[in-house]
């Protein structure tokens, strides 16, 4: 019997955005929610106890990385992802599909359209080597660790994710880029559809085989790039897909996305999907993207960005982003952000973290990550509360107006408004 489910609660007037509760064997997730990324069974630089303290309701790990090291069989032997990493809340694992794009072409998840010069199915990001090759059966890829060749298929992805034991996992998909031609997008969409059927069949088989294990929910991943007809087709196909009585428990919005049309693309899929199943938008974390996606029907999100930029001294605040390493912060004996309720802001100053980054001390990454993750989790929590209170429009206007307002350079005054960091 499944311990998984989703209960919608407050619905926006457009019928797409909503609040709700995802029920898992390891606890509930109040949505909308930001899911902290623990790629290798750890949110980089912070303890699992800190992850709970900064408010994350769940953690997402990377099936590809854990397959390579330490091995999904070892995680299974340890009792599953949560027990292995000492996290008692809900867990997600991705399918490895993102690595098809990142290893294959090296492009990012969200792409500004002015960076897409021309469609090319062989396009590779500058300075990147193609390490993954796709065929109709699966993907052959070269390990970024030692160069060994590996093979991922829908069946392998399902086995790996079952062994990792996450509450929510994703079907194996081919994540295309906006640089791919329309013809290739169509071929890839059909390939992903066929892989989805194989994932459902193998998921059912493994669920029956692994008696005594908590039920793991399987989300189908929707592709289609920037094309409305392909996105809607993917949603209809996977939304109604059933193999031997097994259906998808929820859905992931995948693929590279046009930033300026992110909300519109999400709405195409939300309009076609069953209302009573959760929707996860893979790989976004910028404030304007959250608002657009929530209003378009996305329920949960994940992204490495809050912790990644923190390790490079970039700090998120309600007044935008700034760089702690600038000279303006050397004698700034104030919190990273006035009014922030995170552990770092309660105990440390900008001046201290400026020193830690300049001295290349590891504690710098820990304290900065705690703040950025708390900022991101709290923002999505506030979006959820504003929906419940009927105040989303006002909150969106106030928050984005302040966050993206032109900033006054700090100059020689360490306590003045921080300048926006543009290098990370």
Q: Is 33 exposed, middle or buried (0-12, 13-18, 19+ CB in 10 A)?
A: buried
Residue 17: partners with Cβ closer than 8 Å, 6 or more residues away: 11, 294, 295, 296, 297, 387, 392
Catalytic residue among 76, 173, 249, 302: 302
- CB-CB contact of 290 with 283 (8 Å): no
Residue 81 is given by DSSP the state H
The dihedral over CA atoms of 370, 376, 381, 382, expressed in degrees to the nearest 10, equals 120
Q: Which of 76, 94, 237, 249 is catalytic?
A: 94
Q: What is the spatial distance between Cα 237 and Cα 220, in angstroms, rounded to a whole number? A: 10
H or E element in which residue 370 lies:
helix 362-388
- Give the integer Cα–Cα distance in Å for 97 and 64: 8
Give the Cα separation of 219 and 374 in Å (integer). 26
* 76 annotated active-site: no
Verify whether residue 244 is a known catalytic residue.
no
Taken as a whole, the chain contains a residue count of 424
Is 407 in contact with 38 (CB distance < 8 Å)? Answer: no
Task: Just list the catalytic residues.
Answer: 94, 302
């Amino acid at each position: 019997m499944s311990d998984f489910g989703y209960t919608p609660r407050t619905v926006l007037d457009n019928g797409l955005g909503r609040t709700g509760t995802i029920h898992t064997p390891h606890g509930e997730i109040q949505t909308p929610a930001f899911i902290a990324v623990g790629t290798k069974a750890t949110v980089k630089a912070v303890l699992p106890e800190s992850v709970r303290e900064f408010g994350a309701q769940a953690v997402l790990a990377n099936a590809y990385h854990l397959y390579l090291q330490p091995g999904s069989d070892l995680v299974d032997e340890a009792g599953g992802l949560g027990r292995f990493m000492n996290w008692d809340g809900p867990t997600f694992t991705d399918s490895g599909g993102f690595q098809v794009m990142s290893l294959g072409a090296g492009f990012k998840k969200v792409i500004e359209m002015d960076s897409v010069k021309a469609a090319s199915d062989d396009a590779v990001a500058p300075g990147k080597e193609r390490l993954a090759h796709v065929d109709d059966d699966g993907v052959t890829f070269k390990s970024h660790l030692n160069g060994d060749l590996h093979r991922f298929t829908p069946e392998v992805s399902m086995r790996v994710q079952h062994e990792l034991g996450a509450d929510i996992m994703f079907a194996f998909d081919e994540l295309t880029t906006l640089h791919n031609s329309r013809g290739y997008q169509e071929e890839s969409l059909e390939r992903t559809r066929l892989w989805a059927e194989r994932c459902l069949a193998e998921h059912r088989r493994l669920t029956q085989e692994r008696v005594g294990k908590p039920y793991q929910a399987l989300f189908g991943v929707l592709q289609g790039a920037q094309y409305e007809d392909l996105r809607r087709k993917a949603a209809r196909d996977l939304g109604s897909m059933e193999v031997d009585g097994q259906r998808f428990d929820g859905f992931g919005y995948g693929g590279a996305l046009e930033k300026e049309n992110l909300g519109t693309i999400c709405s195409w899929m939300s309009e076609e999907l069953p209302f009573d199943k959760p929707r996860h938008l893979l790989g976004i974390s910028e404030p304007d993207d959250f608002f657009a996606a929530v209003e378009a029907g996305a329920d949960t999100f994940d992204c490495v960005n809050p912790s990644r930029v923190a390790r490079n001294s970039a700090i998120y605040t309600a007044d935008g982003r700034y760089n702690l390493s600038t000279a303006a912060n050397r004698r700034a004996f104030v919190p990273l952000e006035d009014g922030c309720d995170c552990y770092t802001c309660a105990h440390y100053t900008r001046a201290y973290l400026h020193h830690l980054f300049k001295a290349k001390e590891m504690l710098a990454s820990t304290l900065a990550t705690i703040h950025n993750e708390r900022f991101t989790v709290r923002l999505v929590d506030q979006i959820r509360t504003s929906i419940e209170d009927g105040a989303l429009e006002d909150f969106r206007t106030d928050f984005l107006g302040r966050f993206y307002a032109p900033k006054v350079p700090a100059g020689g005054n360490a306590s003045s408004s921080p300048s926006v960091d543009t290098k990370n």
